[in-house]
Copies of this chain bind each other. A is one copy, B any other.
Amino acid sequence: MAPEMTTLKGQPLNRTAVDTLMRRRFFYTPTADIYGGVAGFYDFGPPGCALQANIVETWRKHFVLEEDMLEVDSPMITPFPVLKTSGHVERFCDFVAKDSENGEILRADHVVEEVLEARLKGDKEARGQKVEAAAEDGAADKKKKKKVKGKVEAIKLDDAVVQEYTEILAKIDNYDGPGLSELFEKYDIRNPNTGNKFKMPVYEQNLMFDVTIGGARLPAYLRPETAQGQFLNFSKLLEFNQQKMPFASAQIGKSGRNEIAPRSGLLRVREFLMAEIEHYVDPESGKKHTRFHEVEDVKINLLDGKVQLEGKTETTAITIGEGVRTGVIDNETVGYFMARIQLFMLRLGLDPAKIRFREHMENEMAHYARYCVDCELLTSYGWIECVGCADRSAYDLSCHTKATGVPLVVRETRQEPLTITEYVAETTKAKFGPRFKQDGKAVQSAIDQLTEEVKEKLSLELKDNGKITIAVPGVGDGKVELTSDLIKIEQQTRTEHTREFIPNVIEPSFGIGRIFYSLCEQVFWTREGAEERAVLSFPPAIAPTKVLLVPLSSNPDFKPMIAELTKKLRKHHLSSRVDDSGASIGKRYSRNDELGTPFGITVDFQSLKDNTITLRDRDSTDQVRATQDEILEALVKLVHGTETWSQVYERLPKFEGQELE
């Protein structure tokens, strides 16, 4: 089980307090909640929009601009053939189990987790151990969750059973359909909502929303990922990049997944913002990365796939360089992006102790991936996958090339022309067609599939006997005789001046909403001795609003200076918000601590006399007092990260004014 979630001050995290704050201050709210809402859909309000925009903007700067990635924007509605080819129609599914009595459909792995975790909790209770406070869920799911929580019964388990359950939970993502069905049978896992058994075996259900287009009702889906819109444009992107390899494309956009029974608030939603990078590399390059040396020393926490298969969840702290050198990390390019992801998370203000990279186990990987490692963030829901970093190899580009006949390939002029000597089988068109008629295609296909070795053997046979026999399934008795007037097989030599290859793709794929929520939990804390005074300690660059402007009172004399400051801050691209309500200054600051506003400016009567204002730091509540220009200069540096608060506090005159409640 995941470690208990604490705040950055080490306090136990109260999820309800976070969730209530976020809703009350309109970071987010269930979509259409005046209509009762629908699970898995959320709206962002003004601070949520600003926070999301800042995360996206940071992402764009950190990845797209830093590496000149080529951005693409394709629609959510995606024609059927695209997702048929990509394998999503057949394979983008979850295993579900159906209640044998009321027909309720639940996600199979989630049910197993829920039931076994409840039993382990019951065991702890029976042993008189401390049980974590049961986590509260979002409003939409409250009812169901309560029922489940009711199922925790204080029953002591055998030590061996505890061990078994723990190991199953550690590798829950690795079970396939039969494996899950077996768990249901073996451990008598029933629907926690009804107590009924499930119909077995579990089965797959597709997760895409389907729509139809126009009067002709063309079938289509809401895309489950933005990646396909990039792959389909590969050739145009390569041309735009003046045929240079390697390069990356990127897309920021919404996708849809028709989750079976979404709970866990913003962490499992049905429509969500993604940011995806497709980095195209030459497979013969060994997936080296030219900028790898820049990130070799970045430290990460890694949870190895093999460790998980042993039923354990211990992470190792290593540098990216070590990981790649020792082969724990698959290749340089994946390692490079893991390091860049780690740096991105730190830039957003996430706690390094609450970030880990978890390798996928064999059965867990998506159908298109040959290797995958997730960046997971610790929350009160446990470790949550927020970024998937997959090696999709040549899977997608090959599939689409095959399905459309349009080659999604790279053609490179060879430094040295390549001389190839090989056996070539050529049929005599004029005779071949009339001889085989409708079977011609099948025979030709069988010829095309002959290996070099076989062709060499047949070439000799043809020379010796004037005829050969090849296997052609479905034609005659499955064997076809070819005489030398119908086919020639000879060794030929040709020179290739260009090399053609399908690139491999390394894909870091970010769930922005999950990062958003995990960040909010990780920067939440409460003032000592005042649980109701919550703070969201976003880094200044990420905070929704940078500066709160507080006139001492609603006295109209303060208005001109507040207006002037607003204008000046806007000119420096620093977002600000005025609170000229009647509440005390302390209360007004507190309200904005909840919004994560890092700095506050107070305008008082002295300001009107000598043009000085006070600047307050959200986290320490320390204040300095200086002229407007000095404060503005400090603010620009603080938000751009070129100066820290302690440096500002050191060099500007301290202000000891009280924060009156």
Residues of A within 8 A of B (CB): 25-26, 29, 31-35, 38-46, 48-50, 52, 65, 70-79, 81-82, 104-105, 205, 209-215, 218, 220, 222, 229, 232-233, 236-237, 239-240, 242, 254, 256, 258-261, 270-271, 400, 403-404, 406, 408, 570, 575, 579, 581
Instruction: Name the contact of A34 in the complex, choosing from B39, B205, B232, B270 (C-beta under 8 A).
Output: B232
Beta-carbon contact of A29 and B236 below 8 Å:
yes
Beta-carbon contact of A261 and B214 below 8 Å:
yes
Complex Cα gap A533–B506 (Å)? 38
Query: How many copies of the polypeptide does the oligomer hold?
Result: 2
Q: Which 10 A-B pairs have CB atoms at the shortest separation, nearest pair first?
A: A49-B71, A75-B271, A43-B74, A44-B73, A34-B406, A46-B70, A105-B215, A34-B404, A209-B211, A26-B240
Known contacts being A211-B211, A254-B254, is A404 close to B35, with CB within 8 Å? yes
Nearest B residue to A104, CB-CB: B215
Instruction: Using A35-B81, A40-B213, A43-B233 as known contacts, list a sample of 13 further A-B pairs with CB atoms less than 8 Å apart, ordered by residue number in A.
Output: A26-B240, A31-B78, A32-B81, A35-B82, A38-B79, A40-B214, A44-B72, A45-B233, A77-B256, A104-B215, A209-B212, A215-B261, A242-B579
Nearest-neighbour CB distance to chain B for A206, whole angstroms, equals 12
A105: chain B residues at CB < 8 Å are 215
Beta-carbon contact of B29 and A65 below 8 Å:
no
Beta-carbon contact of B31 and A45 below 8 Å:
no
A78: chain B residues at CB < 8 Å are 31-32
Nearest B residue to A401, CB-CB: B34
Beta-carbon contact of A39 and B214 below 8 Å:
yes
Nearest B residue to A262, CB-CB: B214
Nearest B residue to A215, CB-CB: B105
Nearest B residue to A583, CB-CB: B242
Residue from A31, A39, A65 with most neighbouring chain B CB atoms (10 Å): A31
A205: chain B residues at CB < 8 Å are 215
Beta-carbon contact of B50 and A72 below 8 Å:
no
A79: chain B residues at CB < 8 Å are 31-32, 35, 38, 41
Complex Cα gap A258–B261 (Å)? 28
Beta-carbon contact of B76 and A26 below 8 Å:
no
A82: chain B residues at CB < 8 Å are 32, 35
Beta-carbon contact of B254 and A45 below 8 Å:
no
Nearest B residue to A222, CB-CB: B211
Complex Cα gap A213–B209 (Å)? 8
